Amino acid sequence: MTGHYTIYGALGSPYSMKLRAVLRYRRLPHIWAHGGGALAATAGKVKAPVIPILEYPDGSFANDSTPLIYDLEARHADRGIVPPDPAQAFLAHLIEDFGDEWLTKAMFGYRWLREVDQVQMSRWLAFDQMKGGGIGKSQAAAEMFRQRQVGRMGIVGCTEANFPLIEASTRAVLAALEAHVTDRHCLFGSRPSLAEFGLYGQISQLGVDPTPEAMLRRDYPYVLRWLLHIDDMSGIDGEWDAPDAPPAPVVEALLGIIGALYFPFLIANATALAAGAETFRFTALGHDYTQGTFKYQAKCLADLRARFAALPADARAGLEPLLARTGCLAPLQAA
């Protein structure tokens, strides 16, 4: 194949599944390279060693799924995933950001808090990497990986004490999506936006790991099936909602969760960082949460505010009632 992209990723990596789903929907020719041997080809090619890594048709490499998505938008006009209406584009970005930065705690927590998930998933991830190699070696590698990941739980806030909030917020998202997908397919029309792909990346993993898979199958069965729809949308030819159409109820429901939880999280983190504190705490949905500060998430907050401020005045004004109702307006306007 010439003129193709290569995605270096993993089936157990939410951001890899997200990017692969984007390239599939966009009908951009690509190769899916996963596992240890494939990843070796990317050694030293990108600054931060995180997957997915995208190799462009010209042989250059880059990673970080959100900037990659915007770069692909700039390079390929057809089947874009950023709505042309700036207000919808902003909302889609906000929901994607929430998926990437908050829902990833659900992915990590459900995978690494309980033994049944730790054992199953570390074994499968080692299997995906080694593709054979003998059961002894495979399970030994799995055990090393499991120890490493479990050791990182505290750093990303996935502790037993924090899990009630992570679980409550995950269930709120899944309940909103379950009501939505039995009514309409996508969030901003009949074609997918970056919001679907951001949510899909993290939730795709909940659809595989034993404990959350059982929860989805029992309580959110249509979301579980919808994940497979988003995984390959190459056959979908849809339309964006009209800019003046009222947003789908799921958009308001997700913004309500973002206002109640995600902005308080981002603001508590940024405030603690500015004060030179090493940890921060906040309460949302009736649950306490505490974590070490993260510079990257302070950048996310600044970026969301800058995007909101840069909207055309009429788009910003049009969004204000919805953002105010959902608790998102004041956090976006604060300096």
Ligand X SMILES: N[C@@H](CCC(=O)N[C@@H](CS)C(=O)NCC(=O)O)C(=O)O
55 touches ligand X by CB under 6 A: no
| Alpha carbon distances (Å) from 198 to 16, 17, 18 | 11, 10, 6
Contact in structure between 177 and 225 (CB atoms under 8 Å)? no
Among 55, 85, 97, 100, binds ligand X (CB under 6 A): 100
15 touches ligand X by CB under 6 A: yes
205 touches ligand X by CB under 6 A: no
293 touches ligand X by CB under 6 A: no
Report residue 155: phi and psi, to 5°.
Answer: -60, -40
**Ranges within 32-51 binding ligand X (CB under 6 A):** 50-51
96 touches ligand X by CB under 6 A: no
65 touches ligand X by CB under 6 A: yes
Closest distance to ligand X from the beta carbon of 95 (Å):
15
Identity of residue 29: P
66 touches ligand X by CB under 6 A: yes
* # binding residues, ligand X (CB under 6 A): 10
Contact in structure between 19 and 70 (CB atoms under 8 Å)? no
Distance CA 266, CA 330 (A): 13
Distance CA 263, CA 330 (A): 10
- Number of other CB atoms surrounding residue 170 within 10 Å: 25
13 touches ligand X by CB under 6 A: yes
Of 64-72, 81-89, 176-184, 309-317, the segment contacting ligand X by CB under 6 A is 64-72
CB-nearer residue toward ligand X: 61 or 222? 61
Distance CA 210, CA 114 (A): 10
Positions that interact with ligand X (CB under 6 A): 13-15, 50-51, 63-66, 100
